[in-house]
Amino acid sequence: MKVYKFGGASVRNADGVRNLQKIIGGERDLFIIVSAMGKTTNALERVFEGLRQGDRAAAAERIAELREYHARIVEDLWHGPTKLDRVEALFDELTRIAAETDYDPRDAELWYDAIVAYGELVSTSIISEYLAFAGTPNRWIDMRRCFLTEQRHKDAGVDIEASAPRLKAALADAGGSVFVGQGFIGGAPDGTTATLGREGSDYSAAVVAHILDAESMSVWKDVDGVMNADPKTFPDAVQIPELNYLDTIELAYSGAQIIHPKTIKPLQNKNIPLYVRPFGDKRKPGTVIRGVSAPVEVPILILKKGQVLLTIRSRDFSFVLEEKLGTIFSLLERYRIKTNLVHNSAVNLSLCVDDTWHIDKAVAALREAGFDVMKAVDMELLTIRGYTEPLFLKYAQIGPKVFIRQTTQSTVRLVRKR
């Protein structure tokens, strides 16, 4: 069994879907995980916003736009007016949720998941039907029934052990087939739909690969492979031919948009190689990620945006590090705040964290627990691994916008104002 993952950009239009079929070619014994088409998840987040703000008309309008966008793709794929019953039914369901839900802010995450999951349900329905139509028989898999997640929403982890028998049962008596499953979604123990965190389809594919003992996993992307920097920010970026799991986790955690950070562990545990390959050209080698790799020859630059810097001090002047660390981090964990860099002095603890929904609640809780907290917004975190003198001089100079600089022998990290 092989696992292929196709991201939203790869299937944003009918050409993309046709290309997906070309990539599959005659391949069988294949599990494909697909994201929502194009920017559908962002649009669904706006549907949710409509619900949250009590603006049902806005929510309905966003849904109508999405229905239209997918209808165009279907018509293009089937060369003429065509409606897929399953897709229509999904949009009807979504419309009903948006119209009938009595929104309660305490259930924000629950409703968020109920709504955004439709992106993947719709994309996989279209792709599964199109593959069958174009001569690739396949089985559509409902990942809400196969992935049992923890009882939480919006960023749930998959219980791999409990999911394994469910997924295997869903595949039973279809040996040698092509399977089509949704990325990003699973089912919570209470039966509701759970999502696995934005960009979580990579993680879905890795969990499938783990459970099915896949020989490899490939992520098909709109780039040639993993680059040492984002070419939009750093024009000299070059491709890295191979990476090991450990470096990849570090890179993903620092904010490199290669792969979702949770993806590597399920693969590493079973020593499954991960290929990052260009969607546009199957012949190009891409990047391979596995246990051992040749050393990376070039420095790697990663810019993580959307950061907040929290500076925390205990009001009674006790040493933050020795006495209070546990309290602080368990509060942050409660609000699901992800810490990307830690810096401390005797009484101050500075944390560079992702700017997320609950950040202000976390700050309030820290204040209530006896800390003074300063919050600086619009920050970004620059990481340079394997830096050279010229790169250091060029990017890592202290200036008015730089709040923190941490250097080790091979890595420099900067928290700075955008």
46 binds ligand ASP, rule: CB under 6 A: no
* Minimum separation from the CB atom of position 194 to ligand ASP (A): 13
Report the 3 state secondary structure along the chain: CEEEEECHHHHCCHHHHHHHHHHHCCCCCEEEEECCCCCHHHHHHHHHHHHHCCCHHHHHHHHHHHHHHHHHHHHHHCCCCCCCHHHHHHHHHHHHHHHHCCCCHHHHHHHHHHHHCHHHHHHHHHHHHHHHHCCCCCEEECHHHHCEECCCCCCCCECHHHHHHHHHHHHCCCCCCEEEEECCEEECCCCCEEECCCCCHHHHHHHHHHHCCCCEEEEEECCCCCECCCCCCCCCCCECCEEEHHHHHHHHHHCCCCCCHHHHHHHHHHCCCEEEEECCCCCCCCEEEECCCCCCCCCEEEEEEEEEEEEEEECCCCCHHHHHHHHHHHHHHHCCCCEEEEEECCCEEEEEEECCCCHHHHHHHHHHCCEEEEEEEEEEEEEEECCCHHHHHHHCCCCCCEEEEEECCCEEEEEEEC
Judged by beta carbon, residue 278 or residue 299, the one nearer ligand ASP is 278
Nearest distance from C-beta of residue 265 to Mg ion, angstroms: 21
Q: Per rule CB under 6 A, is residue 198 in the interface with ligand ASP? A: yes
Question: Which is nearer to ligand ASP, 143 or 349 (by Cβ)?
Answer: 143
Alpha-carbon span 58 to 61, nearest angstrom: 5
By beta-carbon distance, which residue lies closest to ligand ASP? 201
Query: Does the protein bind ligand ASP through residue 50 (CB under 6 A)?
Result: no
Closer CB to Mg ion, residue 35 or residue 228? Answer: 35
Pair of tokens at residue 216 = 């490899």
Q: Which one among 124, 128, 149, 201 touches ligand ASP, defined by CB under 6 A?
A: 201
CB of 41 to ligand ASP, least distance (A): 4
**184 binds, options ligand ASP, Mg ion, none, Cβ within 5 to 8 A by partner type:** ligand ASP
Interface with ligand ASP, residue 113, by CB under 6 A: no
Task: Rule CB under 6 A: say whether 286 interacts with ligand ASP.
Answer: no
Query: Smallest distance, Å, CB 115 to ligand ASP?
Result: 12
Please, what is the minimum distance in Å from the beta carbon of residue 403 to Mg ion?
Answer: 31
Query: 35 or 124: whose CB is closer to Mg ion?
Result: 35
CB of 347 to ligand ASP, least distance (A): 39
- Considering only 38, 50, 119, 266, the residue that binds ligand ASP (CB under 6 A) is 119
Distance in angstroms (rounded) separating the CA atoms of residues 127 and 17: 7
Q: Which of 109, 199, 247, 250 binds ligand ASP (CB under 6 A)?
A: 199
- Judged by the rule CB under 5 A, the positions of this chain that interact with Mg ion are 8, 35
Binding status of residue 279 toward ligand ASP by CB under 6 A: no
Q: Which does 239 bind (CB under 5 to 8 A by kind): ligand ASP, Mg ion, none?
A: none
Least distance (Å) between residue 305 CB and ligand ASP: 16
Binding of residue 145 to ligand ASP (CB under 6 A):
no
Residue 41 binds ligand ASP, judged by CB under 6 A:
yes
Query: Closer to ligand ASP at the Cβ: 183 or 286?
Result: 183
- Interatomic CA distance for residues 179 and 295, integer angstroms: 36
* Binding-site member from 50, 200, 266, 286 for ligand ASP (CB under 6 A): 200
Contact range with ligand ASP by CB under 6 A, out of 63-71, 193-201, 221-229, 288-296: 193-201
Name the binder of 247 from ligand ASP, Mg ion, none, CB < 5-8 A by kind: none
By beta-carbon proximity to Mg ion, the closer residue of 232 and 283 is 232
User: Tokens representing 298?
Assistant: 């070039």
**Choice from 183, 186, 286, 299 touching ligand ASP (CB under 6 A):** 183
Q: Which residues pair with 274 in a beta bridge?
A: 217, 289
Asked whether the beta carbons of 195 and 113 are under 8 A apart, the reply is yes
Nearest residue to 232 via CA among 214, 205, 256: 256
Size of the site for ligand ASP (CB under 6 A): 12
Which residues of this protein are in contact with ligand ASP, per CB under 6 A? 7-8, 35-36, 41, 119, 183-184, 198-201
